[in-house]
């Protein structure tokens, strides 16, 4: 009876011309064709006509009127884990952790917009492969049943190969995106050969909105080396060797979220060393150009970095729509070899537009869409030439080799992909990439890009295939550069 009296009071206020903001906490529910979720819509019935009952409504009533207001309350939320056949199983993720991520809680008025936001939030978790929700309704309430298919973690990675740097090598890795059932992440890789041992390991405990006083954190350590993208083989060392670039270091970061923005503050250390084939440190290349700020062939980078990101994708892997925006700044502290003081600024924006040009609207692992990526960056102050922005390669301008377009102080990059399904697990891509250093290669110490005749700007285009395998998405791209070079490269994961 108390609820009925309240409703009547609100109705009287509306009839009397009072401010309808008393209804500001209510939100209409609608039908979403993408999700297939149908929920009741709260309405005001006025002589056969319906006015939506939402955050703010202004209603003009006639002489004779009857108001009927109905709402439904979220009564219960259930979490069910399923396998590939849709059968119930025991999941790894803690159910309390999942419910803590939801904004639509038991006891609240059901709102379609909050339900959709909760779905997107869960689908962006790396530990989940598929998330659906099934509302069960009665006369006055709604029960929400989430059906979740988790990814196959942990996973063991074994591999090996041969390259002209270290020769034969073996590789072993371990990866888990759901440590302790809390979506914490552990990612490690170890590569060993007769010449070298390399590793990269990172543990991330993410910030949890249900524990606002607890910060997330990330710890990383790494040691790797490869042929240099800045000092490429066009100009070698005096002994004829290619320049090898080694990096050793680590970082510690604190993580926090504010509404839809994720932030991180990190303390980082990297030692960059330039070496020949026998691992001897070298100071200059064959032309006598310096390879480091310190002049010793080794530079130390102590930096404090800050990054902020807003992820509005509908899911993490192969999103069908949405965007992700990231800004970062990294300030170098003049400590160690090189005494480097600089600031590195970067921006990265990705937008996904769903289209239906050739598709039939049926669900697929490779949704049809346009994907656009815009990047920009610059460095203020002195910095190691090996830390220049290297443009070109499979994750930059396809059709060019890594770092073959430019090695600059600044850069801008634009990429467009049209992605389309071929079969259920196979998709195709038509792409183009365009980038420039804005003439900044001349301001890099030793002018490595200028001396190696890197054009400074360039574009590439081509075709690609995407295969959804049990090991993740496999990407093959055939790129053609504006200089006529043709390259076919295979890697994992989408370009962006």
Q: What is the pLDDT of residues 350-374, one digit of tens each?
A: 999 999 888 666 667 788 999 999 9
Please give the residue that has the higher pLDDT: either 326 or 45.
Answer: 326
Q: Name the pLDDT band for 3 (thresholds 50, 70, 90).
A: very low
Q: Name the pLDDT band for 53 (thresholds 50, 70, 90).
A: very low
Output the six-digit token pair for 404.
Answer: 């073959």
pLDDT of 41 > 60? The answer is no
| Mean pLDDT on 99-115 | 92
Residue carrying the six token digits 């220049």: 388
Percentage of residues of the chain with pLDDT beyond 70? 85
Least confident of 21-35, 375-389, 476-490: 21-35
* pLDDT value, residue 275: 95
What's the CA gap between 400 and 458, in Å, rounded? Answer: 9
| Mean pLDDT on 48-76 | 51
Please give the residue that has the higher pLDDT: either 63 or 8.
Answer: 63
pLDDT of 26 > 60? The answer is no
CATH of domain 206-492: 2.40.160.50
pLDDT of 326 > 90? The answer is yes
pLDDT of 276 > 90? The answer is yes
* pLDDT value, residue 161: 86
Is the pTM for the entire model greater than 0.85?
no
| Mean pLDDT on 155-164 | 86
Q: Name the pLDDT band for 69 (thresholds 50, 70, 90).
A: very low
What's the CA gap between 103 and 259, in Å, rounded? Answer: 11
> Which whole-number Å values give the CA distances from 10 to 13, 18, 57, 208, in the listed order?
5, 9, 12, 38
CA dihedral sign, ordered 216, 221, 225, 228: positive
pLDDT of 107 > 60? The answer is yes
Phi, psi of 18 (to 5 degrees): -70, 165
What's the CA gap between 470 and 464, in Å, rounded? Answer: 19
pLDDT of 125 > 60? The answer is yes
447-461: pLDDT as tens digits: 999 999 999 999 999
Residue carrying the six token digits 């377009």: 405
| Neighbour tally for 434: CB within 10 Å | 17
Least confident of 34-48, 240-254, 325-339, 467-481: 34-48
| Mean pLDDT on 223-229 | 93
What's the CA gap between 213 and 194, in Å, rounded? Answer: 48
Q: Which helix (H) or strand (E) holds 116?
A: helix 112-123
Same fold for the pair 73-150 and 206-492:
no
Least Cα distance to 327 among 381, 382, 377 occurs for: 377
Q: Name the pLDDT band for 34 (thresholds 50, 70, 90).
A: very low
Mean pLDDT of the chain: 86
| Mean pLDDT on 66-81 | 79
* pLDDT value, residue 360: 65
pLDDT of 27 > 70? The answer is no
pLDDT of 52 > 90? The answer is no
The domain segmentation of the chain, as residue ranges, is: 2-52, 73-150, 206-492
What's the CA gap between 80 and 93, in Å, rounded? Answer: 11
| Mean pLDDT on 207-218 | 92
Least Cα distance to 372 among 459, 310, 464, 434 occurs for: 434
| Neighbour tally for 56: CB within 10 Å | 10
| Mean pLDDT on 183-194 | 95
Long-range contacts of 203-212 (CB under 8 A, 24+ apart): 203/179, 204/255, 206/255, 207/255, 207/256, 207/257, 207/262, 208/97, 208/100, 208/101, 208/182, 209/100, 209/101, 209/257, 210/97, 210/100, 210/101, 211/100
Output the six-digit token pair for 149.
Answer: 């298919």
Residue carrying the six token digits 């659906």: 132
Q: Name the pLDDT band for 471 (thresholds 50, 70, 90).
A: confident
DSSP string, 253-270: EEEEEETTEEEEEEEEEE
Output the six-digit token pair for 296.
Answer: 């010793």
Q: Mapping DSSP to helix (H, G, I), strand (E, B) and coil, where does residue 305 land?
A: strand
> Which whole-number Å values give the CA distances from 229 to 191, 225, 243, 446, in the listed order?
20, 11, 9, 15
Output the six-digit token pair for 133.
Answer: 């929700």
Going by C-beta distance under 8 Å and a sequence separation of 6 or more, which residues neighbour residue 319? Answer: 313, 352
* pLDDT value, residue 19: 39
What's the CA gap between 147 and 83, in Å, rounded? Answer: 10
| Mean pLDDT on 295-301 | 97
| Mean pLDDT on 185-202 | 94
* pLDDT value, residue 65: 52
pLDDT of 10 > 60? The answer is no
Percentage of residues of the chain with pLDDT beyond 90? 69
* pLDDT value, residue 46: 34
Homologous superfamily assigned to 73-150: membrane protein fhac (3.10.20.310)
Output the six-digit token pair for 201.
Answer: 């390991």
Q: Name the pLDDT band for 419 (thresholds 50, 70, 90).
A: very high
Q: Name the pLDDT band for 94 (thresholds 50, 70, 90).
A: very high
* pLDDT value, residue 11: 37
250-266: pLDDT as tens digits: 999 999 999 889 999 99
């Amino acid at each position: 009876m108390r609820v009925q009296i309240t409703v009547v009071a609100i109705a009287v206020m509306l009839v009397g011309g009072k401010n309808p903001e008393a209804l500001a906490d209510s939100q209409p529910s609608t039908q979403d064709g993408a999700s297939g979720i149908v929920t009741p819509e709260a309405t005001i019935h006025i002589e056969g006509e319906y006015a939506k009952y939402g955050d703010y409504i202004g209603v003009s009533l006639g002489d004779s009127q009857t108001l009927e207001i109905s709402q439904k309350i979220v009564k219960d939320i259930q979490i069910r884990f399923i396998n590939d056949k849709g059968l119930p199983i025991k999941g790894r993720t803690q159910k309390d952790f999942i419910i803590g991520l939801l904004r639509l809680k038991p006891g609240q008025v059901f709102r379609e917009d909050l339900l959709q936001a909760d779905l997107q939030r869960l689908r962006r978790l790396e530990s989940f492969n598929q998330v659906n929700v099934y509302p069960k309704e009665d006369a006055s309430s709604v029960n929400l049943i989430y059906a979740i298919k988790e990814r196959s973690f942990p996973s063991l990675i074994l591999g090996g190969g041969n390259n002209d740097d270290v020769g034969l090598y073996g590789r072993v890795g371990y990866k888990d995106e759901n440590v302790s059932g809390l979506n914490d992440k552990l990612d490690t890789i170890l590569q060993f050969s007769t010449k070298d041992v390399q590793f990269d390991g990172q543990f991330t405990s993410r910030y949890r909105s249900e524990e606002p006083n607890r910060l997330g954190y990330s710890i990383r350590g790494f040691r790797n080396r490869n042929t240099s993208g800045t000092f490429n083989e066009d100009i070698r060392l005096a002994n004829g060797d290619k320049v090898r670039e080694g990096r050793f270091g680590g970082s510690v970061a604190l993580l926090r979220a504010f509404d839809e923005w994720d932030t991180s503050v990190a303390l980082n250390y990297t030692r960059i060393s330039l070496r020949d084939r026998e691992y001897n440190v070298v100071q200059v290349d064959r032309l006598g150009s310096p390879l480091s700020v310190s002049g010793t062939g080794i530079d130390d980078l102590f930096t404090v970095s800050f990054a902020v990101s807003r992820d509005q994708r509908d899911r993490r892997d192969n999103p069908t729509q949405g965007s992700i925006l990231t800004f970062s700044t990294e300030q170098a502290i003049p400590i160690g070899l090189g005494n480097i003081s600089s600031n590195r600024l970067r921006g990265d924006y990705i937008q996904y537009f769903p289209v239906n040009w050739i598709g039939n609207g049926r669900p697929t692992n490779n949704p049809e869409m346009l994907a656009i990526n815009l990047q920009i960056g610059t460095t203020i102050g002195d910095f190691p030439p090996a830390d220049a922005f290297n443009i070109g390669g499979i994750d930059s301008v396809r059709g060019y080799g890594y770092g073959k377009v430019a090695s600059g102080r600044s850069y801008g990059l634009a990429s467009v992909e049209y992605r389309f399904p071929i079969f259920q697990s196979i998709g195709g891509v038509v792409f183009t990439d365009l980038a420039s250093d804005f003439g900044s290669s001349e301001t890099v110490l030793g002018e490595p890009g200028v001396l190696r005749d890197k054009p400074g700007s360039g574009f590439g285009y081509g075709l690609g295939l995407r295969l959804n395998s049990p090991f993740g998405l496999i990407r093959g791209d055939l790129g053609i550069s504006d200089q006529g070079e043709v390259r076919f490269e295979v890697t994992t994961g989408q370009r962006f």
